[in-house]
Amino acid sequence: MNNTNPGIVLGTMGFGTQVDPDTSFALLDSFVAGGGDWLDTANCYSFWADPSGVGGASERVIGAWLRARPGARDSVRIATKVRQNPLVPHVWPESAEGLSARAVHAGMEESLERLGVDHVDMLWAHAEDRTVPLEETVGAFGELVAKGTALRVGAANHTAWRVERARSLAREQGAEPWTALQLRHSLVQPRPLTPLAEGGHRHLTPDDLDLAASEGLDVWAYSSLLWGSYTRPDKPFQDIYDHPGTTRVLAVLDDIADEVSATRNQVVLAWLLHQGIAPIVGVSRVQHVEEALAARDVRFTGEQLARFEAAR
C-alpha cells in the first residue's frame, strides 16, 4: 500500500439524523483540533434515518460547519460517495441512483452543492452497479478528476477483480483510475462465507489486500469498531462473530490493552493502522473522538503482533 494512508478518518454517517447539528459541529471541531483531517460521508447518508427518505443530511451538516468555520476547508479533506442515494423517497434499493455516467455526474454536482465546496478530495463508488457497463462508470469518474471536482477516486464494497478490471479500463481510456479501496474490516473476523445482514456491506478479503499491496492502493475500513461491540455490554457482537476465534482474539486484546495502557477500542484502531489500513470511526461524543485519535500513539512489539496473528 502507498504512503498516503490518511490515518484515523472521521465517519459522519449519522450527522444531521442520528447526531444533531450542534453535536456534529463539536465532533468536527474536536477532530480537527486533535490533528485529524479526513472526513468520510456519502450522498445517501442517512436516508434510512431521515423522514425525507433520501440522503444528503450529512453533507449539509458538513457544509454548514465549513461556512461557520472560515478557513476550515484548508484543514480538512472530504471524501464522499455516489451510488446508493434513493431517487424516490423511501424506495431503496429499487430507486438507488446507480453508477451510470449521468448518475455519477449528477450525484457529484448535488454533493458539491450541499457541501458548499468546489471539489472533494476523494470520490467513492459506493457499491458495484452491474447494470451499467464498467467502462461507462470508469469514464465518468475519470471525467470528474479531469474537471478537478474530484481529486482522487476509489471503490467501496467492490470485489478485487472488478477494481482491477476498472483500473485496466482506465488505463485504456487514459482516465484517472481508482486508487483506494473501502471495505468492512476489524480485528475480529466473521465466520467465513457468512451472509451479512447489512445491505451493501462487503468484508475486506486477502485478495483485496493482495491487490492493494501490488498496486499501491490505499485501504480504508468502515465499521472498524463494530458499533461499540468491543466495549459495550449492550452492543454484543453479531452472531456471525460467534466462534472460537473471536474468543481467542478478545483474550489477547484484553492482555495487550493492559500491557500498552490503552482501551480496547484504541488497540483495535492501532492494530488497523499498523496494517496500513485507515479506520473510519463514527462517533457521537467528543470524548470518543479524543479516544480514537489517541490510538495513533499506541505502539506494539513484534511479540504482541505475533500474538494477535496467532489468535486470528
Region 42-51: what's the mean pLDDT? 98
Region 201-226: what's the mean pLDDT? 97
Region 175-182: what's the mean pLDDT? 98
Q: Which whole-number Å values give the CA distances from 105 to 39, 119, 292, in the listed order?
A: 21, 13, 34
Instruction: List the alpha helices (DSSP H) in 94-133.
Output: 101-115
Region 149-164: what's the mean pLDDT? 98
Per residue in 56-82, pLDDT tens?
999 999 999 999 999 999 999 999 999
| pLDDT for res 2 | 45
Region 225-247: what's the mean pLDDT? 95
Q: Which three cell numbers, joined as nine digits, stand for 312?
A: 486470528
Q: Could you give the domains of the chain?
A: 9-234+265-300 (3.20.20.100)
3-state secondary structure of 212: helix
| pLDDT for res 194 | 85
| pLDDT for res 3 | 45
Q: Is 174 left (phi over 0), alpha (psi -120 to 50) or beta?
A: left
- How many other C-beta atoms lie within 10 A of the C-beta of residue 221? 23
Region 161-176: what's the mean pLDDT? 98
| Residues 6 or more apart in contact with residue 108 via CB below 8 angstroms | 82, 120, 123, 144, 149, 150
What are the backbone dihedrals phi and psi of residue 282, each rounded to the nearest 5 degrees, phi first? -95, 125
Per residue in 97-129, pLDDT tens?
999 999 999 999 999 999 999 999 999 999 999
Length of the chain: 312
| pLDDT for res 198 | 86
Question: Taking 90 as the threshold, does the pLDDT of residue 6 lie above it?
Answer: no
In 3-state terms, the chain is what percent helix, strand and coil (to 5)? Answer: 45, 15, 40
Contacts 24+ apart (CB under 8 A), 16-22: 16/46, 16/50, 16/57, 16/58, 16/60, 16/61, 17/45, 17/46, 17/49, 17/50, 17/57, 17/58, 18/46, 18/49, 18/284, 19/284, 21/61, 21/64
First to last CA, the chain: 22
Q: How confident is the model at residue 1 (pLDDT cuts 50, 70, 90)?
A: very low
- Give the predicted TM-score (pTM) of the model: 0.96
Region 156-177: what's the mean pLDDT? 98
| pLDDT for res 4 | 64
Per residue in 121-152, pLDDT tens?
999 999 999 999 999 999 999 999 999 999 99
> CA-to-CA distance for 188 and 25, rounded, in angstroms?
31
| pLDDT for res 200 | 83
Question: Taking 90 as the threshold, does the pLDDT of residue 5 lie above it?
Answer: no
| pLDDT for res 195 | 83
